[in-house]
Amino acid sequence: MAEKIKNYSLEEILSMDKRFRASFINSLGGFKSVVLIGTQSKEGLTNLAVFNSIVHIGSTPPLIGFIVRPDSVERHTLDNILSTKYYTLNHLHQAIVEQAHQTSARYDRSISEFDAVGLTPAYKTGFFAPFVKEAKIQLGMELKEKIELEINGTILIIGEIKQASLPSKVIQNDGFVNLAAAGTIASSGLDSYHLTEQLKRFSYAKPDSPLNEIK
C-alpha cells in the first residue's frame, strides 16, 4: 500500500505556529553537519557554540562557510570572529553531544560555555582561538569573507582551513575521511543528533560506464 503523503503549500507553511515551522523547515533540508565553534574575545574570554548551518565552499583554497543569525545567541561567536579573525570548528561525537547542545543556552557574555558545559579549551602554537580538546576532528579557521544575505538578514561567514587535526586511522588513501568510523555526529532539525552508517562510496560517474563501489 502506498504511503500516505502530506502536501504543504507556502501559505500553509507560513501559517504554522512559529516553533513548529522552525523545526519543520530546519528538517526539510536534510541531514546537516554539526560542529562546535570555539572563539576567544580580544579580552581573552572564550566562547563555544554549536552550529549546524555549515556548508562546503571549496577545496582550493580549502573553504568552509556557515550561517549566523545575528539576533540570536550566536552573536557572541560572530563578534569574536569579526574582531579576532580566528575560530575553530570541532566535530561532535557521542560522548560530547549533550554538552554541545547545552552550549546553545543563552549564557551571559561573561560566562565561557567551555566552563559552563564542561568542555576543555585547548590551544595550539600560534593559533588564537581555542579548540575543543575532547573533539577528535579539529579545524583552525581564518575569516575570509562575510556576506550579509539581504533576503533575511542572516550572515554567511566563510573561512579558510589553516590547520586540521584528525585521527590517522580515519584518513583513507585517496583523501577520503571516514567520518562514520570517526564517530562524527550528524544533525537534523533543531535538536536531533544522529550516528551514521556508511552505505557505499561510488566511483567517479561517467555517462557510459556503470558505477563501481569504492571499498
Contacts of 184 (CB under 8 A, 6+ apart): 91, 92, 93, 136, 137, 196
Q: What's the CA gap between 95 and 78, in Å, rounded?
A: 26
Indicate whether 122 belongs to the interface with a second copy (CB under 8 A): no
Near a second copy by CB under 8 A: residue from 46, 47, 52, 88:
52
Indicate whether 62 belongs to the interface with a second copy (CB under 8 A): yes
Q: Report how many residues bind a second copy under the rule CB under 8 A.
A: 116
| Calculated CA dihedral for residues 150, 69, 188, 48, nearest 10 degrees | 150
Would you say 19 or 44 has its CB closer to a second copy?
A: 19
Output the nine-digit C-alpha cell for 26: 530546519
Near a second copy by CB under 8 A: residue from 43, 55, 80, 120:
55
Q: What's the CA gap between 95 and 19, in Å, rounded?
A: 28
Q: What's the CA gap between 15 and 37, in Å, rounded?
A: 33
Would you say 43 or 204 has its CB closer to a second copy?
A: 204
Near a second copy by CB under 8 A: residue from 44, 71, 110, 205:
205
Site for a second copy in 159-178 (CB under 8 A): 160-169, 171, 174-177
Contacts of 204 (CB under 8 A, 6+ apart): none
Indicate whether 120 belongs to the interface with a second copy (CB under 8 A): no
Least gap, CB of 83 to a second copy (angstroms): 20
Near a second copy by CB under 8 A: residue from 33, 46, 47, 88:
33
> Which residue, 162, 152, 137, 132, is CA-closest to 61?
162
Near a second copy by CB under 8 A: residue from 39, 47, 88, 184:
184
